[in-house]
Every structure is written in C-alpha cells, then in structure tokens.
C-alpha cells in the first residue's frame, strides 16, 4: 500500500465545513462559508502547491471531488498546480457515483479500504472529512498536515467527529505563517 497523506484546513475549533466559498456546504444551516480567505497568504499557497505537486494521486470523497472537478478541470492549465491536479489520477470514494467526469477519475467500489490498499500511487486526501474518518478507523493514514486558521467558528462539521479510540500522533514539524495560520505535520500511529 502506498503512503496516504491528508492535507486539511480547519478552524481553531476544528471546523472543516465550507472552507472555500459560502455556497460550498450549507448543511445544518452553516452560514460561515469561505472562512479561509482571511488567512490565505503566500506561505499557505506555497504549502498547498507543494502538496499538490508532490501527489501521485488524489483520494477524495464525492463532495470534495465534485467541488474540485468544477474548479480545477476548467482552470488555467499553464499553472503547475492546476496541470498536476488535472494530470494525476483521482480516486473517489462514493456510494452514489458510478463514474467521474474529470479526466483520470476512478470511482472506488463498496470495499473502500481494500481498494485503497491496492492503489500504487502515493495519495493525498484534501478535505473529505467523512472519508478521512473511515481511513483513520482502518489505520491507513500515514500523515496529517493540518492548516489551522486563527478563527473560532462555533459551529460546523468537525474534521474528526467521534473517533472510536484515541488517535496517537507524532508532531514532525510546525510553523506559523504571516497571517497566523499554523501548519502542523504529524505522523499517525
């Protein structure tokens, strides 16, 4: 099985819902969409570009996949991160999709964990909180890269939700960007 790294934005209180735009995910009446924009700076952008360029493939939940496909497929292909997003394989965990519209998309079957273990590329998971919890429960995540924004939202979907057991992490590196975003990288287990 290839290495699986997770890269996620979260608020200080662990909210991961609707990070990029107001209309991304209003489930539960969430009204704070697009909250990462205030903390985006060059250091965050560089980290995200590096994570994208290093990915051998993406592993995404359906909602994140649909958002990414709508954003990245039509974007300017002359940008290295955009070209990488469109070139690399996209593996989608979904109970409803049977095929994907974005090039190099593979929709994984119902035995998600077994399918993930067969993927040869090093994978990066962006967003996809429900998928993340499944992967963590089955012990297949190797690294967590958490970009914590200096903002408390007070409500919204949490990254970890309820875990069945504690999740031991080893801090590998942490730094703070000029806008106050803390980028912390952990090994899992």
Task: Name the most confidently modeled range: 73-77, 101-105, 182-186.
Answer: 182-186
Residues forming beta bridges with residue 146, ordered by sequence position:
8, 184
Cα–Cα separations (whole angstroms), residue 161 to 55, 104, 129, 151: 26, 31, 9, 19
Which of 17, 41, 15 has its CA nearest to residue 175?
Answer: 41
Q: What is the pLDDT of residues 135-149, one digit of tens each?
A: 999 999 999 999 999
| DSSP label of 124 | E
pLDDT over 70 (residue 113): yes
Which of 179, 149, 184 has its CA nearest to residue 14?
Answer: 149
Instruction: Tell me the domains of the chain and their CATH numbers.
Output: 4-188 (3.40.430.10)
Residue 91 burial by Cβ neighbours in a 10 Å radius (0-12, 13-18, 19+) = buried
- pLDDT of 21: 66
């Amino acid at each position: 099985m290839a290495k699986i790294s997770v890269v996620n934005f979260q608020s200080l209180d662990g909210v991961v819902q609707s990070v990029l735009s107001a209309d991304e995910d209003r489930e539960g009446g969430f009204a704070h969409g697009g909250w990462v924009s205030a903390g985006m700076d060059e250091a965050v952008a560089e980290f995200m570009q590096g994570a994208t360029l290093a990915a051998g493939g993406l592993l995404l939940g359906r909602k994140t996949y649909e958002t990414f496909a709508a954003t990245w497929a039509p974007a300017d292909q002359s940008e290295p991160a955009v070209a990488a997003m469109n070139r690399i394989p996209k593996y989608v965990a979904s109970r409803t999709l049977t095929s994907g519209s974005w090039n190099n998309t593979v929709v994984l079957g119902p035995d998600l964990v077994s399918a993930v273990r067969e993927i040869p590329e090093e994978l990066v998971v962006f967003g996809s909180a429900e998928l993340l919890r499944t992967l963590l429960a089955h012990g297949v995540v190797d690294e967590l890269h958490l970009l914590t924004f200096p903002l408390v939202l007070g409500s919204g979907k949490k990254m970890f939700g309820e875990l069945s057991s504690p999740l031991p992490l080893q801090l590998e590196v942490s730094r703070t960007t000029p806008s106050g975003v803390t980028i912390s990288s952990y090994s899992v287990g």
